[in-house]
Amino acid sequence: MDAVPKVTGTFDAFDGRTLSHRAIRRSVYGMWRFAWFGLIAAYFVLLGLFIWLIEKVGLKFTGDGWMLTVACILVPALCVDGLRRLINRLADNRWYARGVPRQVEVTYAIESEGLLMSSPAGRSIVFWTSINEIVLDRNRWLLIGPGVGYFLARHLFSDASEEHAFISRILAQLSPAAQARSSGAYKVLTSLTVS
């Protein structure tokens, strides 16, 4: 029987995330990856232009001049934010052009060794020993591991009791230290009504 090909080595916990992030940015975003610098520069150029206009008109920082000054600071910020949204949309379109679907169905299952995440792209298991903390971040549960976070959207649960049961089972699998760090998750769970 042939041996299974494998490679083994060590690397810093954040190297994989940093290196893959850089490679993806180069491959997918191309020159757009430098757009953030352009956005910052655009903001300062527009801000400088508006400050020059304020001085040219001779407005003071009192009365109506103060409101116009605030508007002159906010307008460039809103323009830059609009450019940021456009750049993000263009980046998303570059992903879609590479065959990335707009939505992916993901299944989360509690297994004896960890949380199994399955999608048409593959399966991944996060071992219980690698989950350091669980926190609620807006509308998703975040399972924090070594240098990475996995999310579990709250809308996946049919009701509060299902959410309570699922998250409680995950918490029960964690180490005592991880459970202690997840004190906020326990508070959220007690606020959920279990019927």
> Where is pLDDT greater, at 78 or 2?
78
> Which token pair is 112?
């004896």
Would 90 be classed as within a structural domain? Answer: yes
Residues of the domain holding 78: 15-97
Predicted confidence (pLDDT) at residue 139 exceeds the cutoff of 70: yes
**Each residue of 88-115: pLDDT tens digit?**
888 888 888 988 888 888 889 999 999 9
Q: What is the pLDDT of residue 195?
A: 46
Q: Which of 112, 138, 140 is nearest to 125 (CA)?
A: 112
Would 7 be classed as within a structural domain? Answer: no
Q: What is the pLDDT of residue 73?
A: 75
Phi, psi (rounded to 5 degrees) for 140: -150, 150
**Each residue of 3-53: pLDDT tens digit?**
665 555 555 655 555 655 666 677 667 777 777 787 788 778 877 887 787
Mean pLDDT, the chain, rounded, equals 80
The end-to-end CA distance of the chain, in Å, is 55
Pick the last residue of a domain from 75, 97, 119: 97
> Which token pair is 147?
């240098």
Rounded Cα gap, residues 76 and 50, in angstroms: 8
192 exposure class (CB count in 10 Å sphere: 0-12, 13-18, 19+) = middle
Q: Are residues 84 and 140 in the same domain?
A: no
Strands of the sheet containing 140-145, edge to edge, are 133-137, 140-145, 148-153
**Other C-beta atoms lying within 10 Å of the C-beta of residue 185:** 22
Pick the last residue of a domain from 49, 73, 97: 97
Rounded Cα gap, residues 76 and 73, in angstroms: 6
> Which token pair is 62?
């009192």
Would 65 be classed as within a structural domain? Answer: yes
Predicted confidence (pLDDT) at residue 170 exceeds the cutoff of 90: yes
